[in-house]
């Protein structure tokens, strides 16, 4: 696809570098931006550059934060002995949305993925170990995705954290509340049977 303009071609290439955005979609986005006022596009462009250049991470949990410590780590009402390990900020938002969790977080910034060349050193694993070794942590909950990468990351962290003498737990896998058995995949269904619990403990509260 020759676009008769190197400027357009370059912008389309950059937009198409985003995950899930093909060249056709990138072209549609570029044409949308072209129809806007120049100041509006300058604000768009500037918001992205500033995010990358100026965004800071919480010095405790590695969550995204404009201040040295994030609002969750600063909250004295939260249980500092309990750390929930997640892949990225989207998971923090999702768990906070449940209003069921009152501990702190640790954001890994990804999962171990040999395919993408991501090893433990590319993630915030050392920061997690340092936190645990400083003491005061009673339990670490692994809340990682049910993918191969999530499992690999969980396996690695469990080994290191157990060595450090802390209790390691993982979020429950099972049938979604409100969903039928026929909608679940075999692995999840199998795991939900293996992990069965006394009936009284499973009643919705």
* Interacting residues with a second copy (CB under 8 A): 1-8, 10-11, 13-15, 17-21, 25, 27-36, 38, 41-55, 63-66, 70-72, 88-90, 93, 109-110
For the bound state, the minimum distance from the C-beta of residue 103 to a second copy, rounded and expressed in Å, comes to: 16
- Closer residue to a second copy in complex, CB, 17/201: 17
For the bound state, the minimum distance from the C-beta of residue 196 to a second copy, rounded and expressed in Å, comes to: 33
For the bound state, the minimum distance from the C-beta of residue 74 to a second copy, rounded and expressed in Å, comes to: 11
Helices 23-34 + 6-16 axis angle, to 10: 120
DSSP letter assigned to residue 15: H
- Closer residue to a second copy in complex, CB, 21/164: 21
For the bound state, the minimum distance from the C-beta of residue 63 to a second copy, rounded and expressed in Å, comes to: 7
DSSP 68-106: SS-HHHH-TTSEEEEEEEESSHHHHHHHHHHT---EEEE
Report the alpha-carbon distance of residue 176 to residue 190 in Å, rounded.
Answer: 14
- Closer residue to a second copy in complex, CB, 27/170: 27
DSSP letter assigned to residue 183: G
Of 56, 86, 80, nearest to 69 by C-alpha is 56
How far CA 119 is from CA of 31, 114, 147, 150, in Å, comes to 39, 7, 16, 12
- Closer residue to a second copy in complex, CB, 19/180: 19
Report the alpha-carbon distance of residue 109 to residue 118 in Å, rounded.
Answer: 11
For the bound state, the minimum distance from the C-beta of residue 13 to a second copy, rounded and expressed in Å, comes to: 8
- Closer residue to a second copy in complex, CB, 35/197: 35
For the bound state, the minimum distance from the C-beta of residue 73 to a second copy, rounded and expressed in Å, comes to: 10
- Closer residue to a second copy in complex, CB, 93/171: 93
DSSP helix/strand/coil, 170: strand
């Amino acid at each position: 696809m020759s676009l008769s303009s190197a400027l357009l071609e370059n912008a389309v290439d950059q937009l198409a570098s985003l995950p899930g955005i093909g060249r056709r979609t990138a072209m549609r986005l570029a044409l949308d931006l072209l129809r806007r006022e120049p100041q509006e596009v300058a604000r768009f462009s500037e918001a992205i550059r500033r995010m990358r250049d100026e965004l800071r991470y919480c010095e405790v949990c590695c969550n995204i934060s404009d201040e040295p410590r994030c609002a969750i780590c600063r909250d004295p009402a939260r249980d500092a002995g309990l750390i929930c390990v997640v892949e990225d900020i989207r998971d923090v938002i999702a768990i906070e949305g449940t209003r069921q969790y009152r501990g702190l977080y640790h954001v890994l910034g990804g999962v171990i993925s040999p395919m993408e060349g991501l090893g433990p050193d590319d993630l915030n694993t050392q920061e997690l170990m340092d936190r645990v070794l400083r003491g005061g942590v009673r339990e670490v909950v692994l809340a990682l995705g049910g993918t191969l990468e999530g499992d690999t990351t969980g396996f690695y962290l469990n080994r290191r954290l157990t060595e450090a003498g802390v209790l390691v737990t993982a979020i429950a896998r099972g049938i979604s509340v409100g969903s039928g058995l026929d909608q679940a995949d075999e692995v999840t269904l199998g795991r939900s049977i293996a992990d069965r619990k006394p009936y009284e403990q499973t009643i919705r509260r």
